[in-house]
Amino acid sequence: MNIPFVDLRKQYAPLKQEILSGIERVLDSMQLFLGENVQQLEKDFAQYSGVAYGIGVSDGTTALQILLRALDIGQGDEVITVSHTFIATAEAILLVGARPVFVDIDPNTCLMDVSQIESRITSRTKAILPVHLYGQMVDMDPLLEIAKKHNLRVIEDACQAHGAEYKGRKAGSMGDGGAFSFYFSKNLGAYGEGGFVTTNDAEIASKVRMLRDHGSKTRYHHDILGFNARLDEIQAVVLRAKLPHLAEWNEKRREHARLYNELLKGTSTIPMSELPGATPIYHLYVIRVPKRDELQSFLKDNGIFTGIHYPIPIHLQKAMEFLGYKQGNLPVTEQMVTEILSLPMYAELSNDEISYTVKKINDFFS
């Protein structure tokens, strides 16, 4: 059996005609940016995410930068986040001139250990930036409480969490703003680059709209310095065709996760825990496992493709040396990166493929 890590062709096949005719209409009209598809997607994805305002942007990294800028976070400011995430989270903070301050993670979820936040707050701290990694939700209530107590902004990195819920509230709807990525392999992915900002604050929304289009409301009138970060119509066509299926695809992923959890019981693997009251969307299905690298090669030799998200924590990346972090500063993060393995996960995955993957994991350990 050959089991890819993600198989996007299976998702594309039933949507092909709708997507191609939508793209044809865009090309016939030559309205390539910020047209009816982007506008409709902004309404629909904002509604889906339970927020008042949604703004399509070029990618998730820029969504984070624009939100930080919209909240006036920059030079001299500190933003509390995690090192166990994709580099873009910290990159965005640094690119606006601020400094990421890392807290460690909870080994059961690999998400921000909220109990460590307060010990990292200084007079320069301006915001907390939780990352709903793997499509699992950070424990937002205590985090929001801390933010309120210390008058800090909250930006949710929801780039892997389209539709994930925490106590009935969607990712990206709880802080001052949420940043999403439509990178092709996300639960909601474009066929190129794309991103999105969610917020319930009209002023933030209006500033984000300006920032994504060179700081202008009216063409060639630039009130602030911004970005070239518009979402294009062709990507919006793709995303609009996919959005009506997202809830069902997320449910399929949850079913797959339940089956993996069930079949993996009694093995030497530990799946990520779900936070009580949260509904994750399993962008990635991650286990902790001994002899991780050997297992990964064994699975590959048996046609099963896995991933490691992520193998090197941000605070130990070469590009981040100047921040002054050292090995040992974030012990849980540093331990987890040696144990985590992401198993194949996508809505169209079959039960047989999941059973085969678990069988091969069992074969490896016996």
For binding to ligand PLP (CB under 6 A), which residues are involved? 59-61, 85-86, 88-89, 131, 133, 157, 159-160, 181, 183, 195
- Closer residue to ligand PLP, CB minimum distance, 59 or 334: 59
As measured in angstroms, the least distance from the Cβ of 162 to ligand PLP is: 11
Q: Which is nearer to ligand PLP, 154 or 295 (CB)?
A: 154
Contact 157, 132 (CB under 8 A): yes
Q: How far is it, in rounded angstroms, from Cα 336 to Cα 327?
A: 13
Phi, psi of 34 (to 5 degrees): 50, 45
Contacts of 58 (CB under 8 A, 6+ apart): 193, 194, 195, 212, 227, 228, 229, 230, 231
Select 211 or 358, whichever has its Cβ closest to ligand PLP: 211
Q: Cβ-closest residue to ligand PLP?
A: 60
Give the CA-trace dihedral at 315, 310, 112, 274, to 10 degrees. -170
In the complex with ligand PLP, which residue's Cβ is closer, 85 or 250? Answer: 85
Closest separation in Å from C-beta 77 to ligand PLP: 19
Q: Which is nearer to ligand PLP, 181 or 235 (CB)?
A: 181
For residue 276, what are the contacts with CB-CB under 8 A and spacing of at least 6?
none
Question: How far apart, in Å, are the Cα atoms of 321 and each of 64, 102, 120, 318, 325?
Answer: 22, 14, 19, 5, 7
Q: How far is the CB of 190 from ligand PLP (least distance, A)?
A: 9
Q: 37 or 61: whose CB is closer to ligand PLP?
A: 61
Q: Considering the complex, what minimum distance in angstroms separates the CB of residue 87 from ligand PLP?
A: 8
Q: How many helices (H) and strands (E) does the chain have?
A: 10, 15
- Smallest gap from Cβ 152 to ligand PLP, in A, equals 20
> What CA–CA distance (Å, rounded) separates 92 from 186?
19
Closest by CA to 267, choosing from 236, 288, 239, is 288
